[in-house]
Amino acid sequence: MATLADPIDAPRTVYTVSRLNRETRFILNECFGSLWIEGEISNFSVPSSGHLYFTLKDAEAQVRCAMFRPQARFLEFKPKNGDHVLAKAQVSLYEPRGDFQLIIETLEEAGDGALLRAFEALKNRLAAEGLFDASIKKPLPSLPQCIGVITSSTGAAVRDILTVLRRRFPAIPVILFPVKVQGPEAKSEIVRALNLADRLKWCDVVILARGGGSLEDLWAFNEEIVARAIHACGIPVIAGIGHEIDFTIADFVADLRAPTPSAAAEAASPDGTAWLERFQRLETRLRQSIQTRLNQAERLLGFLDKRLQQLHPAKQLSTQAQRLDELELRLRRATQNRLALLETRLQGEAARLLRYRPDQRLMLLKARRDQLARRLHTAIHRRIETQRHALVCASQELQAVSPLATLARGYSITNRADGRMLLRSCHGVVAGDRIATRLADGTLISTVESIHPERLTQGPES
């Protein structure tokens, strides 16, 4: 049945199935050319020819794919069912069956799978080189003079970091090194910022930060050149990348890993409140110490003032002047005494020299002889007088004890007439005996007519 839209006499073009499929294939090739497509592998098979056949699918559709052996030889991984891949392909049609398909030119892993494998490979290699060793980690300054921040100037991370730093210690200056934190240029800008911070040496610590994101978003911090730039940086680097569950290569190489950018700012800055409390304690101790020192200095000043009054410079000068005068007088006296002593010694030596002259010595010996002669004459006369005086005294003493002196005082000595016996008792004679009595001026010879003994009076001791 003809319609108004179809001309009644229009010629008909009849396609064969092969022509339709062929022309459709040409149209598809010209329209799409080479394109990139992402999907999950299923129905994967590898026949003996070495070609790869599989289906790429997503949640809503699927498409058949073929990768011929020459291209399959350059694959860097072994595809399998379930792999999420990214393929560069030509849109085509398999004419014998009329199936829509993709001719795969290159195939690579897509999504977190490939990135995680690359992450682990780089991590293991850098760990083997010692870039993660704790022994090479640089200590963080307790009170940095300046903090550097390497991050995006428009992201939330820089606002969080500045807020934390302003809250904790607003006096510390912050230098921002703005960089891209995502995309192909991010790694180069991060490396340049690290090198610039290390070269300028304006900062004591550097925060390398970025907010959260997927593994692909954070991949700039998993690049090897970034890791080596962190390792080569002479300034301590704190990595605050992503959230607490996110780990990057930069976290392992950095001197300190913080779970978030805010935590990195906390780690880089001291607690201002704690420092203020410490300053207050130190101020109290300083005041007490200063007061103690002032008290000690005041006591010392009083003591020194008293000593100064006792040892005033004027008094010291007058004392020293007096001492100088005294020493001057002593020096003069010592000089005069020394000169006098030398003069005396000179005179003595001169006298000794004169004494050794023969004529002088003869004169001296003659004078000595005359002196000795006079001394001898004087000594003889003195000795004679002394002996004469001693004789007179001895004579007087002898006279005093002489029996004649006793007789002169009226006493007498009686003995027998023959002189053989001195009579001391009346019993020594008998009547008729002749006795001789010696008086001071002579001797009486008499005869005893009678004897009258008398009893001697005894003293108290009888």
Report angle CA 31, 34, 36 to the nearest 5 degrees. 115
Q: The tokens 């005086």 sit on which residue?
A: 389
Residue 207 contacts residue 151 (beta carbons within 8 Å):
yes
| Residue 137 phi, psi dihedral angles, 5° rounding | -70, 135
pLDDT of residue 136: 93
Query: Six-digit token pair at 39?
Result: 């999907």
Which residue in 251, 230, 252 sits closest to 240, CA to CA?
251
Helix, strand, or coil here: 424?
coil
Which residue in 106, 24, 20, 121 sits closest to 71, CA to CA?
106
Q: The tokens 């049609």 sit on which residue?
A: 93
pTM above 0.85, yes or no: no
Tell me which CATH code domain 116-270 carries: 3.40.50.261
Report angle CA 5, 10, 13 to the nearest 5 degrees. 105
pLDDT of residue 202: 94
Domain ranges of the chain: 17-110, 116-270, 280-314, 406-447
With a CB cutoff of 8 Å and minimum separation 6, the contacts of 430 are 448, 451
Record: fold of 17-110: OB fold (Dihydrolipoamide Acetyltransferase, E2P) (2.40.50)
Q: Count other Cβ atoms within 10 Å, centred on residue 218.
A: 24
Query: Six-digit token pair at 75?
Result: 């694959």
Residue 43 contacts residue 21 (beta carbons within 8 Å):
no
Residue 52 CB burial class (10 angstroms; 0-12, 13-18, ≥19) = buried
Residue 174 contacts residue 163 (beta carbons within 8 Å):
no
> Residue 393 carries which DSSP code?
H
pLDDT of residue 10: 57
| Residue 433 phi, psi dihedral angles, 5° rounding | -75, 145
> Residue 257 carries which DSSP code?
E
Which residue in 92, 79, 77 sits closest to 25, CA to CA?
92
Mean pLDDT of successive 10-residue stretches along the chain, which has 462 residues: 50 78 79 84 90 89 91 86 86 83 85 71 91 93 94 92 93 94 92 95 95 84 94 95 87 94 93 88 93 91 81 73 84 90 87 73 83 91 91 84 74 78 78 82 84 64 38
Buried b or exposed e, range 353-362, using 16+ CB within 10 angstroms: eeeeeeeeee
| Radius of gyration from C-alpha coordinates of the chain | 75
* Spatial separation of the C-alpha atoms in residues 46 and 42, rounded to whole Å: 12
Q: Count other Cβ atoms within 10 Å, centred on residue 32.
A: 13
Q: How far is CA 125 from CA 248, 276, 282, in A?
A: 14, 46, 49
pLDDT of residue 355: 66
Which residue in 255, 253, 258 sits closest to 125, CA to CA?
253
Query: Six-digit token pair at 187?
Result: 């790694």
* Spatial separation of the C-alpha atoms in residues 334 and 238, rounded to whole Å: 87
pLDDT of residue 262: 93
* Spatial separation of the C-alpha atoms in residues 176 and 148, rounded to whole Å: 6
